[in-house]
Amino acid sequence: MSLGTDTPTDQQLSSAELAERVRQLDDADLARVDAWWRANNYLTVGQIYLQDNALLREPLRPEHIKPRLLGHWGTSPGLSFLYAHLSRLIRITGQQSIYLAGPGHGGPALVAAGWLEGTYSEVYPRIGQDEAGLHRLFRQFSAPGGIPSHVSVTTPGSIHEGGELGYVLVHAFGAVMDNPDLLALAVVGDGEAETGPLEGAWKGISFLNPAQDGAVLPVLHLNGAKISGPTVLSRKDPAEVRELFSGHGYEVIEVEGSDLPGMHYGFAEALATAWAAIRRIQESARNGTWDGSRPRWPMIVLRTPKGWTGPETVDGTQVAGTFRAHQVPLSGVKDNAEHLAQLEQWLRSYRPEELFGEDGTLSGDVLAANPEGDLRMSATPHANGGLITRDLDLPDFRDYAIDVKSPADTRAESTRKLGEFMRDIYRDNPDRFRLFSPDETNSNRLGAVFDVSDRAWAEKVYDSDVKLGPTGRVMEVLSEHNCHGWLEGYTLTGRHGLFATYEAFAMVSASQTVQHSKWLEEANHLPWRAKVPSLNILLTSTAWRNDHNGFSHQGPGLIQTVLTQRGSVSRIYLPPDANCLLSVADHCFRSRSYTNLIVIDKQPQLQYLTIDEAIEHCERGASIWEWAGNDDGTSDPDIVLASAGDVVTMETVAAAQILTERLPHFRTRVVNVVDLMTLPRRKDHPHGMDPMLFRELFTDHVDVVFAFHGFPGAIHQVVHGRPDADRFHVRGFIEEGTTTTPFDMTVKNKASRYHLVIDALNNARRTPPGATELKAWCEAQLAKHEAYVVEHLEDMPEVRDWVLPARDTAPY
Ligand SMILES: Cc1ncc(C[n+]2csc(CCOP(=O)(O)OP(=O)(O)O)c2C)c(N)n1
């Protein structure tokens, strides 16, 4: 294929000279760009309306029209206009580029782009670049067994579906971090720009380093309307819009209009100016002439009518340029002859006879508008697993282990060990690992990473600042949406990372967790989609230990959220101590295409397992802790005390100690669960343990008192269908919390060791001698606790300083 330009890429030309070529749109290139755009618009309208007669070989008849008219026209011509011009820039400059459509409901435009570039047929050979392929392309859109109406996973070149609006800029910024040669064009819908996440995302440039990162070119598309009303930014005085984005640090370039070919010239000029500015910034940063201050990155404000080139009026009502163009402007085509005629006129306005040959193949002008090979945005490897496909170079996590001499005997901050592990991951993977956190790296005890990397920062740095600077690669911004979205963009382009956040505020970005998991779920069905590094989320500063911050900080809801996702992607780990955390983290960093949720608190906590025991425990996902109970495993115990989560595990082990010491003939088994997904049946989750193993741990009829980190309903959900699931009595977080002592949190939520003992005795198969007295003692302990905390403002010493006394021999 020719480069499709009279002025081919020339490695010898400077960026300024190349930009000049982009600026000068000659007649031949104008014809190509316009032909490509018209072809794209034709294909977009065809996808929305036609099930037959794709090339209009005969006058349109009602039977050519789909029975259900679905899709969004309004945003599409703007999206394809931008695509056509960026493709031209790529042809001239060789710029590696990725296209993110914020208003992803313009899916047909991006599907059409992939088809015009030939990628679609390469990926889906059934949809060839010929008339038969075109027919299938139209029929599959928004159809049963076909493709979604958005720029979904099925769309080659996409890393951003744009279904849930608000994330286009965060994905774009994540994609260019440590990706110096990449330009991400991010189209921001003016409706989308009203969302909280998008509003916060403009700050991305305050964290971008022009030497080591690529560039984001935001295009704010002010087409004026949303679904049924105007947009805020389109109705503002343009000066205010300029000031707003100028205040965010952008150099605002404006293009407005609908006249053709005038808009082609205007946009070529704007894009050339933007790209020249980007290259100037990058070159000065890379050739040592940069003064280190935050560059003024360009952005484009594009004002075009919604539904541009579509029907001006329908039934006498203005449609183009209004919200009425948002979806399907002519809705009655099947039964309304006038609408049908108007649709045909609309389709023919793109002059398909100039765009398609006899057999449906594309004309030379259209083909010549495409960049070549991997430079086609629909084929860019950046959007399919990235350029770096290597896994992380991981140090041996065993080297960071805590030396546990005796279980539940010493306390340590487990996440600090993870910080040390990540410090060395940073050191060994300077091009493909980042930690993302809403200002909590130190708070979450992960600060060891600062030994090898500063916080990324492109704004001013003061002497009083600590570990802050432009070459930093630890991402801290007080926005869960930014952190989550940046990590998504980073992993979808092949790099690895972790989002560490306070547990309660993970709900701020919970919807992103869901949307990303959906993406991974669907990608699993597409053999051509490369596996991408997993989305690793660490929830720390958890509900049980937010006794100082109080009720607002107590919410383990993300577990429930991840549970709703398909088993093919969702993973939930509750390591009880540091060594288990290290083993789990190592596993997660090696994994691909999962959503890994890791939940562990940051406060000093009891350590239970040696590193070898931890590895074995994590490999199994759940096991009996023989040292904690008095069950010899030869016959069924009287009760199973199970736990998942660090604080509740301490309570469980303490409860078992009370039971085994005070009722030595009452057989207590202790089971710890680190991989929550071992509990469901295998048919419900691939990690589900087989029935034999489940029976080995939980028997199939002995009652289980389960102390769970999260909301109790989660355990009932995962043990559904296991033998006699009703015997699982779950204690967990029941929305009782406040500013109080750590142990009082467990008391308030009825998950304390004393509650667990009482539960065990109330639910055991037999009532052992001494049970009544022991329950009375537990009640007395609870009463004593109530009085003690109020008087002393801290926990009783026997609880606060509790450790498991070392046992010389097994208790049985
Ligand atoms: C978070 C979110 N809220 C609501 C919607 C429903 N929705 C779909 S399109 C749309 C209007 C989008 O307007 P805009 O971003 O300006 O896109 P365009 O005008 O280019 O179609 C809305 C509200 C959504 N997809 N996501």
State how far the Cα of 798 lies from the Cα of 752, in Å rounded to an integer.
13
State how far the Cα of 282 lies from the Cα of 540, in Å rounded to an integer.
37
Nearest Cα residue to 458 out of 472, 479, 447: 472
Is the C-beta atom of 219 inside 6 A of ligand 1?
Answer: no
Q: How far is the CA of 82 from the centre of ligand 1 (A)?
A: 19
Is the C-beta atom of 454 inside 6 A of ligand 1?
Answer: no
pLDDT digits (tens, 9 = 90+) for 137-180: 999 999 999 999 999 999 999 999 999 999 999 999 999 999 99
Nearest Cα residue to 47 out of 12, 79, 73: 73
Q: Give the three-state DSSP class for 332.
A: coil
Q: How far is the CA of 574 from the centre of ligand 1 (A)?
A: 37
Q: pLDDT at position 331, please? A: 87
Residue 117 pLDDT more than 90?
Answer: yes
State how far the Cα of 718 lies from the Cα of 716, in Å rounded to an integer.
6
CB atoms within 10 A of CB 636: 16
Question: Which residue, judged by its Cα, is nearest atom 20 of ligand 1?
Answer: 75
Nearest Cα residue to 219 out of 202, 197, 206, 195: 202
Is the C-beta atom of 130 inside 6 A of ligand 1?
Answer: no
Question: Which residue, judged by its Cα, is nearest atom 7 of ligand 1?
Answer: 227
Residue 611 pLDDT more than 80?
Answer: yes
State how far the Cα of 171 lies from the Cα of 192, in Å rounded to an integer.
14
Residue 507 pLDDT more than 60?
Answer: yes
pLDDT digits (tens, 9 = 90+) for 8-18: 445 689 999 99
Is the C-beta atom of 227 inside 6 A of ligand 1?
Answer: yes
Beta strand 411-413 with 604-606 is antiparallel
Q: Give the three-state DSSP class for 682.
A: coil
From 72, 73, 160, 192, the mutation candidate for ligand 1 (largest count of ligand atoms within 8 A of CB) is 192
How does the average pLDDT of the chain come out, rounded? 95
| Whole-number percent of the chain with pLDDT over 90 | 94
Adjacency order of strands within the sheet including 728-731: 622-624, 668-673, 639-644, 704-708, 728-731
Question: Which residue, judged by its Cα, is nearest atom 14 of ligand 1?
Answer: 191
Degrees, nearest 5: CA angle 33-37-42: 150
Residue 4 pLDDT more than 70?
Answer: no
More confident residue, 543 or 810: 543
Q: How far is the CA of 550 from the centre of ligand 1 (A)?
A: 36
CA dihedral (315, 318, 322, 325) positive or negative: positive
Q: pLDDT at position 251, please? A: 98
Q: Is 174 exposed, middle or buried (0-12, 13-18, 19+ CB in 10 A)?
A: buried
Q: pLDDT at position 6, please? A: 42
Atom of ligand 1 nearest to the CA of 306: 19
Is the C-beta atom of 515 inside 6 A of ligand 1?
Answer: no
Where would I find the beta strands (DSSP E) of 651-809? 668-673, 704-708, 728-731
Q: Give the three-state DSSP class for 595.
A: strand
User: Tokens representing 173?
Assistant: 């910024």
State how far the Cα of 556 lies from the Cα of 84, in Å rounded to an integer.
46
Degrees, nearest 5: CA angle 107-111-114: 145
Is the C-beta atom of 737 inside 6 A of ligand 1?
Answer: no
User: Tokens representing 105?
Assistant: 């409901």
State how far the Cα of 181 lies from the Cα of 384, in Å rounded to an integer.
16
User: Tokens representing 563?
Assistant: 């549970």
Is the C-beta atom of 575 inside 6 A of ligand 1?
Answer: no
Q: pLDDT at position 260, please? A: 97
Question: Which residue, judged by its Cα, is nearest atom 19 of ligand 1?
Answer: 226
Q: pLDDT at position 440, please? A: 85
From 44, 105, 110, 188, the mutation candidate for ligand 1 (largest count of ligand atoms within 8 A of CB) is 105
Is the C-beta atom of 107 inside 6 A of ligand 1?
Answer: no
Atom of ligand 1 nearest to the CA of 326: 21
Q: pLDDT at position 10, please? A: 56
Determine the average pLDDT of the residues in 207-235.
97
Q: Using pLDDT thresholds of 50, 70 and 90, give the confidence band for residue 363.
A: very high
Q: How far is the CA of 172 from the centre of ligand 1 (A)?
A: 18
Is the C-beta atom of 226 inside 6 A of ligand 1?
Answer: yes
Atom of ligand 1 nearest to the CA of 74: 21
Is the C-beta atom of 306 inside 6 A of ligand 1?
Answer: yes
From 76, 79, 226, the mutation candidate for ligand 1 (largest count of ligand atoms within 8 A of CB) is 226
Nearest Cα residue to 179 out of 426, 432, 427: 432
b/e 8-35 (16+ beta carbons within 10 angstroms → b): ebeeeeebeebbebbbebeeebbebbbb
Atom of ligand 1 nearest to the CA of 164: 26
b/e 128-163 (16+ beta carbons within 10 angstroms → b): bbebebbbbbbbbbbbeeebbbbbbbbbbbbbbbbb
pLDDT digits (tens, 9 = 90+) for 406-457: 999 999 999 999 999 999 999 999 999 999 999 889 989 999 999 999 999 9
Determine the average pLDDT of the residues in 466-483.
97
Q: How far is the CA of 203 from the centre of ligand 1 (A)?
A: 22
From 44, 72, 165, 190, the mutation candidate for ligand 1 (largest count of ligand atoms within 8 A of CB) is 165
